[in-house]
Structure 1
Amino acid sequence: MTALKSGNGPVKLTLRYGLLVVVALIFIFPLVFMLVSSLKPDQQLLSDTSSLRAFLPVGDISLDNYFAAFKRAPVALFIFNSILVTAITVVLSLFLCSMAAFSFACITWRGRELVLAIIIATLIVPFETIAIPMLMVVNNLPWVSSSGVTFGWLNSYHVQIVPFIADGLTIFLFVQYFRDLPKELIEAARLDGATWFQVYSKVIVPISGPVFATAAILKFLAMYNQYLWPLMTTQSEQFRPVMVGLQYFFQLNIAWGEVMAYLSLITIPVLAFYLFLQRAFIASIASTGIKG
């Protein structure tokens, strides 16, 4: 019986890893197709889609599509705008939403359950239903800058950042995680004389790496893929993000090689952020003070 069990171990392990490899290939194929297609001229790109050559860097391979993409649109500016807006929004969102969630999960105050229920209820409201009212509001809001007080937030970075700093999903994620943390840690810190902000910053945050990483990934993807709101609020190339910039490649004659090159370029920040956050996530798990 022991030999049978030990014999089944490597077989099961091989099947498991084989399944994981198949799943990984399914997810990586679109990236490979995008990258390979960005190196081919349009005629070859379209003809190769009917065979496995679509996933192979064969034929007339060059970087011409990338040079053409930079000539057609200010690609670097669009990527910079998206990274700037996304990074600021993610940082502010993690800080403010986690603090709000801490108050809901760890501090007792009158009406907190009602307020939390209202915040969670906003998740069922489609953004398209509030886009026009939001546009009318931000078009009349004041903003203080180096040139003085101005009214109207259109054509700016802050119009893409401020409305999305706080959201129901991020707060809900933090609340659910904070509620599962040991209450003894909070009670011990309070008995030692720590303020609520000290409890949050020195006790809760250091052991909440997984939820911070999860919330950061979801927020990053949501902000980096923004299209409708930037399209409505930015008329100048100076502030447009990558998704709005994609429409430059569908005007007049569509060059699919340039489209693939543009998509490859705007995917790089997403992959870089994922790899960075993966390391941060592993480090947070290794350094946490809570052990089973």
Structure 2
Amino acid sequence: MASINPANHGLRLAVRYAVLSIIAVVFLFPLVFMIMSSFKPDLQLLQDTGSLRAFLPVGDLSFENYREAFERAPVWTFVKNSIIVTGLTVALSLFFCSLAAFSFAFLNWHGRDTVLAVILATLIVPFETIAIPLLLLVSKLPWLGMDGIEWGWLNTYRVQIIPWVADGLTIFLFVQYFKDLPHELVEAARVEGASWWQIYSRVVMPLAGPVLATAAILKFLVMYNQYLWPLIVVQEESYRPVMVGLQYFFQLNTAWGEVMAYLTLITVPVLIFYLALQRAFIASIASTGVKG
């Protein structure tokens, strides 16, 4: 067996970390620019964009842009709405899509492959082609509320959540992951008399940490960045999400410092969610394993 040269190994490791560090810096540049610009007045912000000063905390720095951003728009209302809509959609999507994927991966029923093919085919359908029919549908659907039956879902949280609970990509991710799990685990659980729900909740899902984190991050980004659908179905300010709220800063006079302050504020939940899921993703990989 050939011995490994410690010097060559150390050099390769140093080069690898250097390349990864450069890539990380490149990806961090937009965030650094956004945060630094949020503390600068518009004139200085525009002057600094042509040099490295745009990435440095130099010049006349203050929290004035943040104060004016809160005066121009109800920022916390938009952030709250996005967190509610995104959080509920992600939770419901993970539950229902994993249930559907479980049936495709472990249950034998007539037409299973055809139904899965139809679901995957929806991935190539642009949202713009179904936006108007979906709008007409949700504007007439009933809903059982506290005051009885209500007609129409417009200007509500549910109209921003329910249409996006199930999607082909999330189902596909779960199906592919479930198919790679040892089916002997399911067969052993069936022999022990476990029900399908018990197999799903106690055998399969505890092993699904990586795909849960991946699907949650992808779904979170899609929902948090929703613009066109909320713009169509939500006219009341109290239900608008952050992306629709961004247009408040481009009305009349555009203040780029306020725009950067607003973007910084709405990016914080994304970073917190990503870092939390990244830690959970690493932990799930470290703890997940099947011994032969």
Q: Same fold (TM over 0.5)?
A: yes
Identify the residue that residue 96 of structure 1 maps to in structure 2: 96
Q: 1:270 and 2:277 equivalent?
A: no
Identify the residue that residue 237 of structure 1 maps to in structure 2: 237
Within a 5 Å distance, the mapping from 1:185-224 to structure 2 comes to 185-224=185-224
Structure 2 length-normalised TM: 0.98
- SS across alignment from 1:109: coil
Q: 1:226 and 2:210 equivalent?
A: no
Within a 5 Å distance, the mapping from 1:1-292 to structure 2 comes to 5-291=5-291
Q: CA deviation at 1:13?
A: 1.1
Q: CA deviation at 1:291?
A: 5.0
Q: CA deviation at 1:148?
A: 1.2
Change (3 A) 1:89 1:3: closer
Partner amino acid, structure 1, of 2:182: P
Q: CA deviation at 1:160?
A: 0.1
Partner amino acid, structure 2, of 1:286: A
Partner amino acid, structure 2, of 1:139: S
- SS across alignment from 1:149: strand
Q: CA deviation at 1:6?
A: 2.1
Partner amino acid, structure 1, of 2:167: D
Q: CA RMSD for the aligned pairs?
A: 1.2
Q: Give the distance between the partners of 1:265 and 1:119, measured in 2 at CA.
A: 36
Change (3 A) 1:106 1:3: closer
Partner amino acid, structure 1, of 2:19: L
Q: CA deviation at 1:8?
A: 1.2
Q: Give the distance between the partners of 1:20 and 1:282, measured in 2 at CA.
A: 18
Q: Give the distance between the partners of 2:180 and 2:289, measured in 1 at CA.
A: 15
Q: CA deviation at 1:279?
A: 1.5
- SS across alignment from 1:96: helix
Q: Deviations over 1:73-114 (max 9, x none)?
A: 000000000000000000000000000000000111110000
Partner amino acid, structure 2, of 1:76: W
Structure 1 length-normalised TM: 0.98
Q: Deviations over 1:27-50 (max 9, x none)?
A: 000000000000000000000000
Q: Percent identity?
A: 68
Q: CA deviation at 1:287?
A: 2.2
- SS across alignment from 1:144: strand
Q: Give the distance between the partners of 2:264 and 2:126, measured in 1 at CA.
A: 30
Q: CA deviation at 1:4?
A: 8.5
- SS across alignment from 2:5: helix
Structure 1, unaligned runs of 5 or more: none
Q: Deviations over 1:14-62 (max 9, x none)?
A: 1111000000001000000000000000000000000000000100000
